[in-house]
Structures are given as structure tokens and as C-alpha cells.
Amino acid sequence: KNEVEQSPQNLTAQEGEFITINCSYSVGISALHWLQQHPGGGIVSLFMLSSGKKKHGRLIATINIQEKHSSLHITASHPRDSAVYICAVSKAAGNKLTFGGGTRVLVKP
């Protein structure tokens, strides 16, 4: 079993819909990261969090340390949000990342 599991693997939404991506992990962590990857490969770090909730624009990330679960929410989704969203954990501060398999999101106009 992978240490980091994401669901769903694929998600299609209509523009304006609220999107939720889930991430569960099975190891002790220092931080959890949400990353965005567009076609062509570049990865952008969206959030790094170790507790609670963070918000940036239309993106919200939450984490429940006791349940070892995190969610990424996209409010008022837009076609430009179409990308692969990847959850990753670091087991110690500044250490390597262990990645989930990613969630491919397609937002249709």
C-alpha cells in the first residue's frame, strides 16, 4: 500500500463548480504539500501545511493530523484550473517528499 493515497484519480467538473480532492497518508509527517502540475511537466507548490487550514485565492487546503487526511478545495472552478494536483508529505523538516499518484482535474467551460 502506498504511503500517500489520493482520490479521485480523475475528476471532471463544469466551470463554477466546487471541487474537492482528498489525500490520506499512513506515516508520521512533518508537513503535507499540495502541488499543481500542468502539461509539460512543471510543478508548482500550492501549499505547505502541518495543521489547520490555508487559503490562497480560490484554493483552500485543510489537514487533520489525527485522521492523517488532507483535502484541497477549489471554489468557483475555472478551465485554467485544469491540471494534475499532487499531494506529497515530508516525514521530517526539509526532507524528501513522498508523493501521491495525483488527481487529474478537467474543468469544462
Partner 1 sequence: DTGVSQDPRHKITKRGQNVTFRCDPISEHNRLYWYRQTLGQGPEFLTYFQNEAQLEKSRLLSDRFSAERPKGSFSTLEIQRTEQGDSAMYLCASSLTTGKAFFGQGTRLTVV
- The residue ranges that bind partner 1 (CB under 8 A) are 4, 33, 35, 40-45, 48, 86, 88, 93-94, 96-102
For the bound state, the minimum distance from the C-beta of residue 98 to partner 1, rounded and expressed in Å, comes to 7
DSSP H or E run through 70: strand 69-74
Alpha carbons within 13 angstroms on the beta-carbon side of residue 23 total 29
- For partner 1, give the closer residue by CB, 56 or 109: 56
Give the residue with the Cβ less far from partner 1, 13 or 47.
47
Q: What are phi and psi of 41, to 5 degrees?
A: 110, -30
Q: Least distance from C-beta 82 to partner 1, angstroms?
A: 16
> Alpha-carbon Rg of the chain, whole angstroms?
13
